[in-house]
Chains A and B, each alone.
Chain A
Amino acid sequence: MILHYKCPGCGSDMSFDAASGTISCNSCGRQENIENYPEQLVTALFEEDEVKEYHCNNCGADILTDAHTAATSCSFCGAGVVLADRLSGNLAPVKVIPFKLSREEATKAFQKWCKKGRLTPKGFMNADRIKSITGLYVPFWLYDLNSRVQVNAVGTKVRTYTSGDYIYTETSYFDAFRDINLDYIKVPVDASEKMNDQLMDKLEPYEYGELKEFKTPYLAGYIAEKYNYTEGELLPRAKHKINSYIDSYISQTLGGYRTVTYKDKQIDTRSVKSDYVLLPVWMMSYDFEQKEHIFAMNGQTGKIIGKPPISKRKAFMWFSGVAGGTFFAMKCFSFIVGGGFW
Chain B
Amino acid sequence: MKKRNYLYLLAILLFFLPIGMSVQAETVDSPIYDYAGLLTTDEVAQLKLQSSKLSEESETAFIIITADGTDGKDIVQYVQEFYDNHASEFEQFHGNAAILAIDMMERDIYLAGFKKAEDYLTDSRLDVIRNEITPDLSEGRYFAAFSGFINQAVHYMETEETAVIPPAEEQQNESGQTGSSEYENESAYEQTSETKNLFFEWWFQLIVSVALGGAVVGTMMLGSGGKVTVSSQTYNNQKTSAVLDKYDRFVRKTVTKQKKPSSNNKSSGGGGFTSGGHSHSGSRGKF
Q: B226 an interface residue at 8 Å Cβ cutoff?
A: yes
Instruction: Tell me whether A166 and B257 are in contact in the complex, defined as CB-CB below 8 angstroms, given that A173-B251, A305-B226, A310-B221 are known contacts.
Output: yes
Q: Is the CB of A338 within 8 A of B247?
A: no
A-B contact count (CB 8 A): 178
Q: Is the CB of B258 within 8 A of A334?
A: no
The distance in angstroms between the C-alpha atoms of A173 and B216, with both chains bound, is 43
Kindly supply a per-residue 1/0 record for chain B positions 190-230, scoring 1 wherever the CB is within 8 Å of any chain A CB and 0 otherwise: 01000011011010011011101110110011001111111
Give the one of A118, A175, A205, A326 with max B CB within 10 A. A326
Shortest Cβ gap from B237 to chain A (Å): 4
Instruction: Tell me whether A177 and B246 are in contact in the complex, defined as CB-CB below 8 angstroms, given that A185-B237, A330-B209, A340-B200 are known contacts.
Output: yes
The distance in angstroms between the C-alpha atoms of A286 and B186, with both chains bound, is 57
Instruction: Tell me whether A310 and B210 are in contact in the complex, defined as CB-CB below 8 angstroms, given that A162-B260, A166-B258, A319-B217 are known contacts.
Output: no
Q: Is the CB of B220 within 8 A of A119?
A: yes
Across the interface, which residues of B come within 8 angstroms of A166, CB to CB?
A: 257-260
Q: Is the CB of B221 within 8 A of A175?
A: no
Kindly supply a per-residue 1/0 record for chain A positions 208-246, scoring 1 wherever the CB is within 8 Å of any chain B CB and 0 otherwise: 000000000000000000000000000000000010110
Q: Is the CB of A315 within 8 A of B221?
A: yes
Across the interface, which residues of A come within 8 angstroms of B236, CB to CB?
A: 182-184, 245, 249
Q: A306 an interface residue at 8 Å Cβ cutoff?
A: yes
Contact of B250 among A172, A183, A187, A244 (CB under 8 A): A172
Q: Is the CB of B226 within 8 A of A202?
A: yes
The distance in angstroms between the C-alpha atoms of A167 and B253, with both chains bound, is 16
Q: Is the CB of A323 within 8 A of B254?
A: no
Q: Is the CB of A334 within 8 A of B241?
A: no
Q: A168 an interface residue at 8 Å Cβ cutoff?
A: yes
Q: Is the CB of B249 within 8 A of A183?
A: no
Q: A197 an interface residue at 8 Å Cβ cutoff?
A: no
Across the interface, which residues of A come within 8 angstroms of B205, CB to CB?
A: 327, 330-331, 334
Kindly supply a per-residue 1/0 record for chain B positions 56-76, scoring 1 wherever the CB is within 8 Å of any chain A CB and 0 otherwise: 000000000000000000000
Q: Classify the interface of chain A: helix, strand, loop or mixed.
A: mixed
The distance in angstroms between the C-alpha atoms of A155 and B251, with both chains bound, is 10
Across the interface, which residues of A come within 8 angstroms of B189, CB to CB?
A: 337-338
Instruction: Tell me whether A173 and B253 are in contact in the complex, defined as CB-CB below 8 angstroms, given that A179-B244, A327-B206 are known contacts.
Output: yes
Q: Is the CB of B224 within 8 A of A307?
A: yes
Across the interface, which residues of B come within 8 angstroms of A253, CB to CB?
A: 243, 246
The distance in angstroms between the C-alpha atoms of A184 and B241, with both chains bound, is 8
The distance in angstroms between the C-alpha atoms of A272 and B57, with both chains bound, is 94
The distance in angstroms between the C-alpha atoms of A289 and B141, with both chains bound, is 79
Given A154-B251, A186-B235, A245-B232, 15 new contacts (CB under 8 A): A169-B255, A179-B246, A184-B235, A184-B237, A204-B230, A205-B229, A244-B232, A245-B235, A305-B225, A306-B225, A307-B225, A318-B216, A326-B209, A327-B205, A340-B200
A and B contact pairs by CB, cutoff 8 A, 13 listed: A169-B257, A171-B253, A172-B250, A173-B252, A175-B249, A177-B246, A180-B244, A245-B235, A306-B225, A307-B224, A310-B224, A338-B163, A342-B202
Considering the complex of A and B, which 6 residue pairs feature the smallest CB-CB distances, nearest first?
A323-B213, A245-B232, A339-B200, A179-B245, A305-B226, A327-B209
